[in-house]
Structure 1
């Protein structure tokens, strides 16, 4: 008797690589084996190799699925778009977020221990860094890199600021609890901090999404083809909404965790940084867009206090 086809989810392509069929939306699908034996050919009963894919039919039914993938060295483990690095960083952000949220809940409800502020702070950081990569990958694919998470390439000052914030949480919890409680009014100050963090995060992510390929994590020196002046959406309200978003997101994290020293230090350091950066960046934007940017600058402010 001729053997009938059976359903399988994977097979081996002609060049020895796994074939992973996908449906029209590009998601994996169960693919039936196409019978290669004629029902009338009973001489194949002695063939013990089993059913096989008919790759000519597969190529027509699932175009591109059995085509070879072009080699791209940037996707290797040492490449700028290393899939290994991207996977590990995404896993790290997700794991940290889940663990910190659970720990925050446990320390707050079960232990009623103010040290809940530490995992809450790292939960905010994990969301921020994941969204930096995700929004870039979703709306600005040509520039996405493993470094788009901004986990290891934000500079010494950035790392030092967050280290100091974590240390203030620990020191005030165990050695200066009275100082930690100054100007902290649960749940009002906590809700205020959460609100500021949410506003800042939404503003930054929205700015990155609406700018699309016109957004860069680092200032550009030359105008690229297709680089446009974005003035719609959130850009009609703030000239630099991504800076506005980060400024208030960072301050919100310190309000949330009750840090007084770092709240003041963050405000001063971030104001100085963005004041200088906006002035330098807008010189370049005037060179790129001329009078269009000058008129835009007259109409729309930065929304960062004392940054024109």
Structure 2
């Protein structure tokens, strides 16, 4: 494991993320009528923070080395762990998309044929796609030995997550009511047994 290989693995993870998401994005452009949406300026800013931390900042670092002043010594065991975490992140990302199917959307939206998904990866956590993003952000920290580019994903996605999660769950409660309350009682938000 070398610093260049770690950067390549981070890039491959980004491509993998897109390959997984693209078919769902394309299919859901043709989905049923949206009955509830919270896509507003706040949501746009939250998505921009996440994209900056998980995409733009690390891409600049990978291709230019900027900001080199924030580099720290590369440690191959950390990068190897990052590669394993990246695989776990992509696997969870794929499972969560598969389990959601046509219920998936990039933002906070519900459509007229929306159903509450509680099977597959959703049997254990309410937001496995967010679990995948937290793992992706952790992989970035482990793969990119830079005090800015590495943790940028944790910061960017953290802003999205903590700025969105309460609104998302309130929206689910407004649509699914007691069914969602019961689901909340038996599942964790992100990591079983932790949170």
Question: Deviation of residue 121 (structure 1)?
Answer: 2.8
Distance 1:255 1:160 in 2: 18
Q: Give the equivalent residue in structure 1 for 2:57.
A: 164
Distance 1:200 1:275 in 2: 19
Pairing of 1:34-183 with structure 2 (within 5 A): 114-136=3-25, 142-143=30-31, 156-161=48-53, 162-169=55-62, 170-171=64-65, 179-181=71-73
Distance 1:256 1:231 in 2: 33
Q: Give the equivalent residue in structure 1 for 2:94.
A: 205
Distance 2:161 2:47 in 1: 15
Identify which of 78, 81, 84 aligns with 1:192: 81
CA RMSD of aligned residues (A): 3.1
Question: Deviation of residue 157 (structure 1)?
Answer: 3.1
Give the match's secondary structure for 1:272: helix
Larger radius of gyration: 1
Deviations 1:243-299 (Å, cap 9, x if unpaired)?
111121132133123333333332233223212211001111001100110111121
Count of residues paired in the alignment: 179
Q: Give the equivalent residue in structure 2 for 1:65.
A: none
Distance 1:209 1:166 in 2: 27
Give the match's secondary structure for 1:160: helix
Contact 1:165/1:259 (CA < 8 Å) preserved in 2?
Answer: no
TM-score, reference length from structure 2 = 0.75
Q: Give the equivalent residue in structure 2 for 1:19.
A: none
Alignment gaps of 5+ in structure 1: 1-107, 144-153
Between structures 1 and 2, the one with greater helix share: 2
Q: Give the equivalent residue in structure 2 for 1:23.
A: none
Alignment gaps of 5+ in structure 2: 32-45
Contact 1:118/1:257 (CA < 8 Å) preserved in 2?
Answer: yes
Q: 1:159 to 1:236 in 2, by over 3 A?
A: closer
Report 1 or 2 for greater relative contact order, CA contacts < 8 Å, sequence distance ≥ 6: 2
TM-score, reference length from structure 1 = 0.50
Give the match's secondary structure for 2:156: helix
Deviations 1:102-156 (Å, cap 9, x if unpaired)?
xxxxxx7xxx7x3444443322211211211134557x5844xxxxxxxxxx954
Task: State whether structure 2 residue 186 is matched by structure 1 residue 293.
Answer: no
Distance 2:144 2:66 in 1: 11
Question: Deviation of residue 180 (structure 1)?
Answer: 3.0
